Structure 1
Amino acid sequence: MKYIVNESNDTAFNIALEEYAFKQMLDEDMIFILWINKPSIIVGRHQNTIEEINRDYVRENDIEVVRRISGGGAVYHDYNNLNYTIISNENQDKLFDFKSFSIPVINTLAELGVKAEFTGRNDLEIDGKKFGGNAQAYIKGRIMHHGALLFDVDLSVLSKALQVSKHKIESKGVKSVRARVTNIVDELEEKISVLEFRDLLLDYMKKEYPEMTEYTFSDTELEEIHRNRDAKFGNWDWNYGKSPAYNIRRTIKFPSGLIDAYVNVVDSRIDSLKIYGDFFGIEDVVAVEEALIGLAYERDVVLAKLQELDLSRYFAGISAQEIAEAIVE
C-alpha cells in the first residue's frame, strides 16, 4: 500500500492527480491520498454545473469550479476542508459501500473524543449534523472512494456559493444548509488545525497498514498529470459543458438520488434528452439517453425501453419505473 500527501492546493491539478492514481497506478493494490483545495466547488459527474452554483457569487469571489469523475452532489472546499482518497482493487460487492471506507475517519475522531456516524446514503454526521460526504468511481475491478471533510470551513461562503436544490432541503425537513452542517473543529474539546487532523488521519492509516510506504511521483508522471489538468479538469467544456436544448424539464428526488431530466420533444417523440443529478453510477448515462432518442414521449414506451437496459450500472438504487417517472409525466 502507498500513501500520498499531496501539498498542492490547485483544485484541477489535485483531481487530475487523483484520476492518475486511479487509472494509471495499476500496480498498486491500494493507495491513500490526502489533499486540500483552495476555495472551490466540486460538482458530481452527472450534475448540471450551472444549476448547482451561485454563478455571480462564484465569479466575484474567484471560486474555482471543477467536475470530478464520480457521481453524487456538489460540495464546497476551502483551505480548511480535508479530502481523502482510498483507491483499491475490489469487486463490485464493495461498490457504493461508503460506510466501510469511512471507518478511518470515524475511528480517528473517536480517538479525539468525538462520536461520528455514517448516515443516509453517503453522509458522515456528528449529533445529526453533517460534516462529510462521500463519492465513488469504479473501473474494471478498481474502486476510487473519496471523502470531503468540513474541518473549519467558512460555512457562510458555503451557503452562498452553492445554489442548493430545494428538493434536498425539503427532503431533510429543515430550512437552511447551515442548519444541517457542522465543522469538526467545533466538536473538539481541544482545538487543532486541519493539518494536524490530516496527520492524525495518516497516523491512523499507518497503524492499520504498517507496510504502507510513501509514493513520490516522477517528473514524467507530474508532466502527464499537468497535461490532464489543463486538457480536462481545467477545461470549461468538461466543467460546464453546453446547456441542453429542452422544452420539458422534470426534477424528482428519490431516496437514492435526484434526477433532473431535460427533454426536447418534437412531434410527440424524444428528439434530445439530457439527464443530470446527484445519483451514483459506474457508467456515463449518455448510453441511456441515446437509447431513448426517437421513442414516443409516453411513460409505458420509455419504461419498456429502460427495462431492456442494465440500469444498475448507471443509476445505483433507482428503478426503471422511477427513471421513467422522472422523464415522462
Structure 2
Amino acid sequence: MLCINNTNVDPYFNIAAEEYLLKNFSEDIFMLWQNEPSVILGKHQNVPAEINLDFVQENNIKVVRRFSGGGTVFHDMGNLNLTFIETNSNINFDKFTQEIVDLLSELGIEAKSDARRAINIDGLKVSGSAQCVHKGRAMFHATLLFSSDLSSLVATLEGDPEEAENKDKASKKVYVKSVKSPVTNISKYVPNSFDINDFKKFILDYFRKKNEENKIYAFDKKDIINIQNLKEAKYLTPEWNFNSYSLK
C-alpha cells in the first residue's frame, strides 16, 4: 500500500487528487490530508438545500463537489481526512470503518460505527464517510473531527428550508439529502498536550506499521500537473460544483 501524507490544504486540489489516484493508479492507497475551511458536497446533492450560501460567502468557505456520493461535510484545519483506495470491485466498505474504530481504540477512545458508517463517541458523531467504485477500483473516504470549529460547521450546513424538495424538476431525478447528527471533537477525549499534529503523526505511523510492504509516496511533478489540470478543468468550475447533477 502507498501511504501519502498530502500536505496541500486546497480543497479543489485535494478532491481532484482523490479522483486522480482512483483512476490512474493500480496500487492500494492510503492518503491523509486536510482542507482549509470548505464544504464538500456529495455528487448528487442540491447545493442550496445543503448549505447556508450567505454564511459560506461571508466567511470565504469554499464549495466543492466530490466524485463520490453521500452527504455534505464541513472541513477545516481541525479536521483530518482519510482516503482508502483499493483495486476491488466487490469490496466490503465496513472494514474501513472498523479500521478507524480500531485506530481510535489505540488511543483509549471507545468509538462505535453505525449503519451509515458514521463513527460516534458517546453518541456524538466524529466521522462521516462516503464511497464509490470506478472500473474495479474502490474508494472510501472519511472525516475525523479533532478540533474543528463546530459552530462554523453547524452554520455552514444549514440549508435553505425552501429547497427541501429533493427533486430536480427538470430531470425528475432525486437528490441525495444529508442526514444531520450532533457532533463532537476527538480532542475532548485525549490529553490537552495531544494536538492535531500529534494525531496526524499517530495515524500515519499506525498505517505505516500495519504492513512492512506499505511504502511512503509523495506526489511527483507529473502527478501535481495532472491533478492541477483536473482541478482546473472540473473542480474549479461552477458547472461541476453547483449544477452537476445532470453531469457524468
TM-score range, shorter chain: 0.7 to 0.9
Greater shift, 187-196 or 31-40, is seen at 187-196
Alignment of 1:132-281 (within 5 A): 132-163=127-158, 180-241=182-243
Larger radius of gyration: 1
* CA distance in 1 between partners of 2:202 and 2:159 (Å): 32
- Please give the TM-score of this superposition, normalised by the length of structure 1: 0.66
1:20 aligns with 2:20: yes
SS at match of 1:92: coil
Distance 1:105 1:198 in 2: 13
Tell me which of the two structures has the higher relative contact order, counting C-alpha pairs closer than 8 angstroms and 6 or more residues apart. Answer: 2
Q: Is the 8 A contact 1:132 1:149 kept in 2?
A: yes
Whether contact under 8 Å (2:6, 2:32) holds in the other structure is yes
Query: What's the offset of the Cα at 1:189?
Result: 3.8
The answer for the alignment partner of 2:170 in structure 1 is none
Q: How does 1:62-73 map to 2 (within 5 A)?
A: 62-73=60-71
Q: 1:117 aligns with which of 93, 112, 116?
A: 112
* Partner AA of 1:39 in structure 2: P
Tell me: CA distance 1:191–1:125, structure 2 relative to 1, closer, same or farther (3 Å): farther
**Separation of aligned partners in 2, 1:165 and 1:240:** 15
Aligned to 1:321: none
Aligned AA (1:239): N
Does the aligned pair in 2 maintain the 1:4–1:216 contact within 8 Å? yes
Amino acid at match of 1:136: Q
Amino acid corresponding to residue 216 of structure 2 in structure 1: E
Percent identity over the alignment is 40
3-state SS, counterpart of residue 128 of structure 2: strand
Query: How far apart, CA to CA, are the structure 2 residues paired with 1:43 and 1:7?
Result: 21
After TM superposition, give the deviation of residue 9 of structure 1 in Å: 0.5
Q: What SS does structure 1 have at the residue aligned with 2:9?
A: coil
Whole-angstrom CA distance in 2 between matches of 1:105 and 1:163: 28
CA contact (8 A) 1:42 1:66 kept: yes
Aligned with 1:51: secondary structure?
Answer: helix
Q: Which residue of 2 aligns with 1:37?
A: 35
Matched residue count = 231
CA, structure 1 residues 216+58, in 2 after alignment: closer, same or farther (shift >3 Å)? same
**Kept in 2: contact 1:104–1:201 (CA 8 A):** no
Tell me the amino acid that sits aligned with residue 117 of structure 1: K
1:164 offset after TM fit, Å? 5.0
Contact 1:104 1:205 in 2 (8 A): no
Q: Could you tell me the TM-score, scaled by structure 2's length?
A: 0.87
Distance 2:210 2:190 in 1: 23
